[in-house]
Amino acid sequence: MSRLTYKATLAKISVPATSANLGPGFDCFGLALDIRDMYAAQILDGAEFDIEISGEGADEVKKDKNNLVIKAMMAGFEHMGGKPKGLALRQLNAIPHGRGLGSSAAAIVGGLALSRALVLGGEQLLTDEDIVAIGTELEGHPDNVAAAVYGGATISWTEDRHGKPYGQAISLKVDPRIHAIAFVPENHLATAKARKLLPETVPHHDAAINAARAALLSQAISLRPDLLLAATEDHLHQQYRAEAMPKSIALVNKLRAAGVAAMVSGAGPTVLVLHTASDTEVDEIIKAGAGSFTAHKLAISPAGVAVTP
């Protein structure tokens, strides 16, 4: 028997897109971007899932109990000690799917937040820290999840608890001068496929470079954006994934050679640029990706998942 008291009202949630790794910060750095998926849900008395999806990837998203938002909602309810008979879900996707912008993390975080919003006293039963931990278990890594929960920039990590990876995160201040450009290609790349391209071991020299650059990134993104180019240098994952996204890696190399802090967003194939450039300079950067990519000028989202009116 459920010990939860469900709200009869509709709950509405928005969740930002996220970019992970940010160059050297593999599986630990995350950044929230100002593209937001919108979800609305309500408890149903009958044992059914009433799901409607529109926007990005609508035809590819499951519309049954295996829908990722629904699965995350059920995980949230179970954490709080109950399970409703049925749910109605309305899902408006704006985040491109399979492009390295955190669409799955948004669905997971959005579902967990919806479950919390539909339970009386849910804020006490399912905290943001719980959402990061459960979201990490569902997603497999905490970087996108953490940024989707807290907004801004985050550093996340996992600790072993009872034989399972327990995700945790802290927030980083983002220098207000920093903005982003996302170069989004038409083609998809599954995260699982991208991960299979990574080697089991890397040279000690490369690991040392990445450790230094990741440490520098925490300062560059908060206080010293003039150091973003050096701070986003990566030797750990991008080069090994080149065969799966040659155009993306070519654009990263082209932009970096011109002094622009470009990197693969998450597992790719989107290319992310962090900059403090003027409008004229931004237009010049965008010209570099003309043809194979659609460029989106983006602000950093200071807010993570949020209840909407």
Q: What is the pLDDT of residue 121?
A: 96
Domains of the chain: 11-173+302-307 (3.30.230.10), 179-298 (3.30.70.890)
Taking Cα atoms as reference points, which of 167, 147, 67 lies closest to residue 107?
67
* Residue that has been written with the tokens 């170069």 in this structure: 183
- Give me the percent of the chain exceeding a pLDDT of 90: 89
Judge contact between 150 and 304, C-beta under 8 A: yes
Q: What is the mean pLDDT of the chain?
A: 95
Helix (H) or strand (E) holding 2: none
d(CA 87, CA 139): 22
Integer Cα distance of 212 and 231 in angstroms: 8
In sequence order, what DSSP letters do the residues of 118-129 get, joined into one string? Answer: TBTTHHHHS-HH
**What pTM, to 2 d.p., does this model score?**
0.95
Question: How far, in Å, CA of 154 to CA of 158, rounded?
Answer: 13
Give the pLDDT of residue 148: 98
Model confidence band, residue 162 (pLDDT cutoffs 50, 70, 90): confident
Residues 131, 75 contacting (CB under 8 angstroms): no
Cα 113 to Cα 145: distance, rounded to the nearest angstrom: 12
pLDDT band at 191 (very low <50, low <70, confident <90, very high): confident
Least confident of 82-96, 132-146, 190-204, 219-233: 190-204
Q: Quick one: pLDDT at residue 300?
A: 98
DSSP secondary structure letter of residue 162: T
- Residue 127 to residue 113: CA distance in whole angstroms: 9
Q: Examine the pLDDT at 109 and tell me if it is beyond 60.
A: yes
pLDDT of 165 reads: 86
* 99: DSSP letter: S
Cα-Cα-Cα-Cα dihedral sign, residues 113, 118, 124, 130: negative
Between helix 103-117 and helix 143-150 the angle, nearest 10°, is 50
pLDDT tens-digit series, residues 114-135: 999 999 999 999 999 999 999 9
pLDDT at 30: 98
Alpha-carbon gap, residue 99 to 270, rounded angstroms:
5
Residue 266: which of 96, 137, 59 has the closest Cα?
A: 96
Q: Which residues pair with 272 in a beta bridge?
A: 182, 263
Classify residue 277 by burial, with Cβ atoms within 10 Å: 0-12, 13-18, 19+: middle
pLDDT-derived band at 290, boundaries 50, 70, 90: confident
Range with the lowest mean pLDDT among 62-66, 137-141, 185-189, 198-202? 185-189
- 1, pLDDT greater than 60: no
Give pLDDT, residue 164.
84
- pLDDT value at residue 127: 98
d(CA 77, CA 80): 5
Mean local confidence (pLDDT), 28-38: 98
DSSP string, 42-82: EEESSS-EEEEEEETTTTTS--STT-HHHHHHHHHHHHHT-
Residue 71 has a CB neighbour count (10 Å cut-off) of 16
Per-residue pLDDT reduced to its tens digit, 51-67:
999 999 899 999 999 99
pLDDT greater at residue 191 or residue 27? 27
**In the prediction, which pLDDT does 2 show?**
63
Give me the amino acid identity at 205: H
**What are the tens digits of pLDDT across the range 195-209?**
889 999 999 999 999
